[in-house]
Structures are given as C-alpha cells and as structure tokens.
C-alpha cells in the first residue's frame, strides 16, 4: 500500500515536471522568450475591439501598441514588442491600492467596509451598489476602489498621494510619474465616479471626503507604466509579497493570497468567471489596455494592447495571456 502511494507521488512529480518544462527550473530564458516571440507573431495582426473613449485622452492612444513581458520570482524579465511605451495603469492600480489598504489596516477591513464578492456587473455599475443591501461591492470595481482610497491613511490629498505613489514606486522598483493629460481628461469627465462616491457616502460606505479621495483615485489611474513595469509590479504577487529585484518584503503572504483571490473573482469584472474557466490565473485589467496575470510562485505576465472588449478588458491582452498561460501550463485550477 505504502509502496503504491510512493509510486503515485513519484509519477505525479514526474508528470508535473515534464508538463511544465519552461518553469521546471529557472533560468530557462530561451523557452520563455520563444513563447513571447511566438505570442507576438500569433496576435500581431489582431485588431478586434476599440480604445476606451469615455476618457477622451485614451481614445487618442495608438491602438496598435502591443507589448508583452514576463517577470519571474527569480528576478528574470523577458520582453517582446512595445514594452517601454508608457500608458496609463488605470484599474490595474486598484490591485496595489488594495494591497496598501490591507497592509495599513489589516485584511478584515476590506471585508467589513468594502466587500469581497464579485458584483457580476460592469466596473462602474451603480446598480451593483443598489442591488446589494449591504452596499457591498469589491475593491476592484470603481465603487470599491474609490472607497478603498478613502480608507488609506493621510489627512489630505497630498499626504495620501505621497504615500500611495511611493508605494507604487516600490513595486515598480523605480520612480513612476503621472500622465497629466490623462489625469486632466479623466478629472473633467468623471461625473459618474463622483456620483458613485456620493452614493456610497449617502449609505455610510465611504470613509472620507469625496473630493479628496476621488482626486487621489483619479491620479492613481493616471500613473504612467510600461508593460515591463507592470510585469515587475505583479512579480511581487507571484513571489508571495517579496520583491524579486530587491528582496524586500512589501506585503504579508496572507495579504497576497487575499489580493489574488479578489483578482480571481473580480479582476476582469463581469467576465471574471469566463476568464477563470478558460485561463485559470488571477488577473487584473485596465481601460488603458494593460492586463496583468499572476501564476503564484512561477511568474507574472503583463500585456499592453489598447483595444478593449465591451467589459473594458483588452481583447489582444486576453488572447495573449491565455496563449502564454497554456504554453506554460499555468492554470492554477
């Protein structure tokens, strides 16, 4: 009986090792690089979807950009395409703001004051707030994300922003800047987000001044990143909270698991279930055209391509990450 059990374990280990040749041991540079090269070739002519245009500055971004980057817990980085082109991080920022709120206040506050269930509705849904008696959303939709900013330490816009922007810089391992044209464009047109914040406030589900927190949220969405930055930022999540390039712990491993859980249930909004079914990786999209996905302990991938589907997720980034995840046998389920 014991012998059979040992044999089964031996075979399982053998199968897993052979099934994941690209990551069985690291570094395996040629394999990951050749997967990125193949992905680029396969999807370089994909033109489905269209740029976000409800933020006018995003409509002007060149739709043809295509950048792919993988970063591993060993600090290796692989890239292909337009990986040094800056673009606005948009909703991908929500992941890192959530991480900061958890580090400052502990993970339970997110359950109590924001919510962690999927809304199953659009990222800027007001209906989601109205439908749920507890007005509970989650930190990756606009309502929950703006409310998460309102939980952060800091008495005014400046003090909140300086802590938050330094936090993002730690993940990127460099000083990030803000795309001021995007910030202005979004500030001029964010009446819908203001309405969401006021509505939450009326239900006592907002935890500070609407103007201040909306401004910080809008600024966080306007942070300029490259595809390579996003892969590096997400690699902290893939490495259980320790930065692969600096060896500094940025997050507790408990908080990493919880952030990844919310990414799995809500990272691609109403399409999160389909994404989990098909790709099986925690992920987060932004209307700037970026998507990050995390294979815990193995790698983080970021793809940038501005054309979006109806849910606000980059069409080509989804296709590319799906392909990369299949090649690397990365589905966590």
Annotated binding site: 91, 142, 186, 193, 217, 269, 287
Q: b or e along 299-328 (b: 16 or more beta carbons within 10 Å of the residue's beta carbon)?
A: bbbbbbbbbbeebbbbbbbbbbbbbbbebb
Cβ neighbours of 240 (radius 10 Å) = 17
How big is the site for ligand DON, counted in residues (CB under 6 A)?
Answer: 13
Residues 26-85 within binding reach of ligand DON (CB under 6 A): none
Residue selected from 79, 119, 125, 142 as contacting ligand DON according to rule CB under 6 A: 142
91 belongs to the binding site for ligand DON (CB under 6 A): yes
- The first and second tokens of residue 124, run together, are 């800027």
Comparing CB distances to ligand DON, the nearer of 51 and 239 is 51
Q: Which residues pair with residue 293 across a beta bridge?
A: 283, 301
Residues 153-172 within binding reach of ligand DON (CB under 6 A): none
150 belongs to the binding site for ligand DON (CB under 6 A): no
Residue selected from 97, 119, 148, 193 as contacting ligand DON according to rule CB under 6 A: 193
285 belongs to the binding site for ligand DON (CB under 6 A): yes
312 belongs to the binding site for ligand DON (CB under 6 A): yes
Binding annotation for substrate: 91, 142, 186, 193, 217, 269, 287
318 belongs to the binding site for ligand DON (CB under 6 A): no
Span between the terminal Cα atoms of the chain, in Å: 28
Segment near ligand DON (CB under 6 A), from 64-72, 149-157, 284-292, 298-306?
284-292
264 belongs to the binding site for ligand DON (CB under 6 A): no
209: left (phi over 0), alpha (psi -120 to 50) or beta: beta
Cβ neighbours of 78 (radius 10 Å) = 24
Residue selected from 39, 51, 119, 124 as contacting ligand DON according to rule CB under 6 A: 124
265 belongs to the binding site for ligand DON (CB under 6 A): no
Q: φ and ψ at 163, to 5 degrees?
A: -70, -45
The answer to whether 32 and 69 are in contact (CB under 8 A) is: no
220 belongs to the binding site for ligand DON (CB under 6 A): no
3-state secondary structure labels for all residues of 181-233: HHHHHHHHCCHHHHHHHHHHHHCCCCCCCHHHHHHHHHHHHCEEECHHHHHHH
271 belongs to the binding site for ligand DON (CB under 6 A): no
Q: To which residue do tokens 């940038």 refer? A: 304
Q: Which helix (H) or strand (E) holds 160?
A: helix 157-172
**Which residue is nearest to ligand DON, using beta carbons?**
91
**Cβ contacts of 319 within 8 Å, gap of 6 or more:** 43, 46
97 belongs to the binding site for ligand DON (CB under 6 A): no
Q: 203: closest CA among 150, 280, 154?
A: 150
Residue selected from 144, 244, 282, 286 as contacting ligand DON according to rule CB under 6 A: 286
90 belongs to the binding site for ligand DON (CB under 6 A): yes
Segment near ligand DON (CB under 6 A), from 10-18, 31-39, 79-87, 283-291?
283-291
The answer to whether 123 and 91 are in contact (CB under 8 A) is: yes
Applying CB under 6 A, the residues found at the interface with ligand DON are 90-91, 123-124, 142, 186, 193, 221, 285-287, 312-313
């Amino acid at each position: 009986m014991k012998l059979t059990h040992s044999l089964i374990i031996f075979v399982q280990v053998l199968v897993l090792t052979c099934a994941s040749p690209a990551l069985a041991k690291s570094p395996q540079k040629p394999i990951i690089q050749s997967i990125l090269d193949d992905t680029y070739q396969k999807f370089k002519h994909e033109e489905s979807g269209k740029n976000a245009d409800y933020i006018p500055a995003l409509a002007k971004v060149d739709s043809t950009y295509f950048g792919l980057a993988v970063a591993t817990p060993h600090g290796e980085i692989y890239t292909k395409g337009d990986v040094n082109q800056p673009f606005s991080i948009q909703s991908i920022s929500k992941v890192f703001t959530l991480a900061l709120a958890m580090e400052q206040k502990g993970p339970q506050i997110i359950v109590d004051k924001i919510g962690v269930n999927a809304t199953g509705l659009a990222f800027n849904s007001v209906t989601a707030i109205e439908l749920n008696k507890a007005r509970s959303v989650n930190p990756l939709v606009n309502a929950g994300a703006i409310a998460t900013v309102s939980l952060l330490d800091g008495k005014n816009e400046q003090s909140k922003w300086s802590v938050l922007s330094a936090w993002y810089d730690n993940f990127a391992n460099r000083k990030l800047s803000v795309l001021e044209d995007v910030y202005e464009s979004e500030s001029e047109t964010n009446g819908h987000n203001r309405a969401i914040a006021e509505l939450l406030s009326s239900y006592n589900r907002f935890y500070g001044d609407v103007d201040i927190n909306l401004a910080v949220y809008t600024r966080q969405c306007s942070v300029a990143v490259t595809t390579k930055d996003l892969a590096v930022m997400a690699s902290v999540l893939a490495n259980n909270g320790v930065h692969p390039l600096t060896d500094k712990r940025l997050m507790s491993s408990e908080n990493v698991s919880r952030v990844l859980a919310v990414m799995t249930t809500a990272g691609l909004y109403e399409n999160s279930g389909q994404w989990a079914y098909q790709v099986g990786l925690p992920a987060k999209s932004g209307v700037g055209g970026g998507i990050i996905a995390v294979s815990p302990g193995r790698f983080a991938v970021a793809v940038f391509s501005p054309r979006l589907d109806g849910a606000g997720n980059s069409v080509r980034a989804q296709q590319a990450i799906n392909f990369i995840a299949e090649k690397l046998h990365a589905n966590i389920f």
